[in-house]
Amino acid sequence: YTEQIIKERAAVLKQTKDSYEIESTINCGQSEELIVQAENELNLARKMLNWKPWEPLASKPPKGQWDWPPTKA
The tens digit of pLDDT for each residue in 16-68 reads: 999 999 999 999 999 999 999 999 999 999 999 999 999 999 999 998 888 88
Does 73 score more than 70 pLDDT?
no
Q: Is the dihedral of CA 14, 11, 33, 37 positive or negative?
A: negative
Select the more confidently predicted residue: 23 or 73. Answer: 23
Task: Give CA–CA dist 22/56, Å, rounded.
Answer: 41
pTM above 0.75, yes or no: no
What confidence tier does 13 reach under pLDDT thresholds 50, 70, 90? very high
Sequence-separated (6 or more) residues with CB below 8 Å from residue 70: 64
